[in-house]
Chain A
Amino acid sequence: MKPFEITEEPINPQDYADYVLHTGAGAVTLFTGHVREWTHGVRTVYLAYEAYVPMAEKKLAQIGAEMEAKWPGIRTAIAHRIGELHLSDIAVVIAVSSPHRSAAYEANEYAIERIKEIVPIWKKEIWEDGQEWQGAQKKYPDKGADAQ
């Protein structure tokens, strides 16, 4: 595994928790995002994720760097799966360790919000009666910083 990766394989969250754990850590938050069956009354059959892999991995690493600047002392690992995912499969894992719990909670939530803003990954919802690429983002984030 790599600490910031796009993968086609099923995600084992423990790998990422193990990666961030060290003797200075008093807390590890492990977030997993899963494929949900019902969204606004529409039933998802499965999802297909696509990514611009090299840029996506670079942006995940950028998010990790942002987090470590905001919450000194944390360690982070993030992975996002691509390809066909079925109900309850893990799409994303975010592991954060910190000496104290508050930073681990806050930084973990920050990561998922940033992933949804700047990482070139796309989700296609496949329903019983159709399919559609999802997406909504701000146009043109500031170069480099991607608009904080």
Chain B
Amino acid sequence: MIRVNYFARLRELAGKGGETLERDQMTVRELLDWAEETYPGFGKDDVQVAVNEEYALPEDLIRSGDECAFIPPVSGG
């Protein structure tokens, strides 16, 4: 099981703050592809993924039990 969290524009698009994927492992790139397919208009090319609260790269592996977050362009300050 992989936990994913949505924020800002993506939270509104998904209509939820997060969900659980019944997967043992997948790469960050696969997760982004899944999100784009599941939520048309996701805009994966402008979204980063955090795995366990650290920015991850597309080829990084996500394992069951990991907590992921989709990070759209940030705008703090």
A58 at the interface (CB under 8 A from B): yes
Q: How far is the CA of A117 from the CA of B76 in the complex (A)?
A: 8
The reply to whether B55 and A135 form a contact with Cβ atoms under 8 Å apart is no
The reply to whether A49 and B76 form a contact with Cβ atoms under 8 Å apart is yes
Stretch of B19-27, B33-41, B67-75 at the chain-chain interface: B67-75
Residue of A whose beta carbon sits closest to that of B71: A120
B61 at the interface (CB under 8 A from A): no
Q: How far is the CA of A119 from the CA of B12 in the complex (A)?
A: 20
The reply to whether B8 and A133 form a contact with Cβ atoms under 8 Å apart is yes
Q: How far is the CA of A141 from the CA of B55 in the complex (A)?
A: 8
Q: Which residues of B contact A58 (CB under 8 A)?
A: 53
Cβ < 8 Å to A, chain B residues 38-67: 45-46, 48, 50, 53-58, 60
Among the listed B12, B56, B69, B75, which residue makes an inter-chain contact with A52, where contact means beta carbons less than 8 Å apart?
Answer: B69
Interface hub of A91, A135, A144 (most chain B Cβ within 10 A): A135
Residues of B within 8 A of A (CB): 5, 7-9, 11-12, 45-46, 48, 50, 53-58, 60, 69, 71-77
Residues of A within 8 A of B (CB): 33, 49-52, 54-56, 58, 80, 91-92, 112, 115-124, 133-137, 139-141, 143-144, 146
